[in-house]
Amino acid sequence: MVCCVTGAGVIALLFIAYKFINILLRILGPYVFCKPIDLKKQAGANWAVVTGATDGIGKSYCFELAKRGFNIYLVSRTQSKLEQTKKEILQKHANIEVKIAVFDFKNPSPADYRKILAKLNEVEVGILINNVGMFFEYPDIIHRIAGGIDSLADVTTVNTLPPTLLSAGVLPQMVSRRAGIVVNISSGAGAIPIPQMSIYSAAKKYITWLTAILRKEYGHQGIIFQTIAPHKVSTNMSGNPDTSFFCPDSDSFAKSALNTIGNSSETTGYITHQLELELMTLLPEFLLNDFISKTGDSIRKTVLSRKEKSQ
């Protein structure tokens, strides 16, 4: 009996040690221990396509990739913002090329996706950053979402179709080169089922699963597939919060996230975000749900209060 109890205790301690080491490796591995890979070599081509490229994380990815010598193909829905972003990039990095393509990702039309893919495939795409995303005006339960089913349809479409169809559309040229990188931007909201973020949370989980499946289907052909699941970053989409230990600016985030390519298949993109995620997963689910629900309530009240004052 004593031997059985002792054996069980040893196994339990070994299991805890194993879990702890894995947590440390996920936090420190891609951000401290591993050196960034040669992105140009892995991409096998000089063009980087970025969706949602005129603001926030997407725009920062563009500047960081341009700094590393990639030509940039900007894809977003507003012509004027695309032209302005192109101008800003070329002012800093005159030695590269920049192309633009207007596309509203609320549009689910396969015919229109074929048109945008025809443009993208005119160049050799080495890196595809599927960054475009959309959130609700504020968190709420599904039948009370602001904008109703129109908003639900838009959030579902914008967060799921682009990584699906654009990946499928550029993969043939990557397969033929046996080189390429596809980065799909998910969210920390996809790590667990989050109350009051139903469709957004579920869509981000879809991105994670899709990327994992593509990794199994194409990884042996020299193509890297990575999921980046950030937590709060100081961007317009997140309400431009002040930067802090857990909330970096988008430039710092993009630089950090790019350095993890090839060193982590699925990560948050930023070391403090990874720490935050690991701490969250250790909490009992009922405590986490309670905290998230209260946070959602607070955000909703703040947004509605601002709307009332502005009227």
Convert the pLDDT of each residue in 54-87 to its tens digit.
999 999 999 999 999 999 999 999 999 999 999 9
Is residue 311 scored above 80 in pLDDT?
A: no
Catalytic residue positions, numbered: 200
Classify 225 as helix, strand or coil.
strand
CA distance to 64, 104, 230, 235, 256, per residue, from 240 (Å): 20, 23, 15, 5, 19
**pLDDT, mean of residues 271-297:** 89
CATH number of 37-310: 3.40.50.720
Locate the domains of the chain by residue range: 37-310
pLDDT for 192 equals 85
Report the distance separating Cα 293 and Cα 289, nearest Å.
6
**pLDDT, mean of residues 46-55:** 97
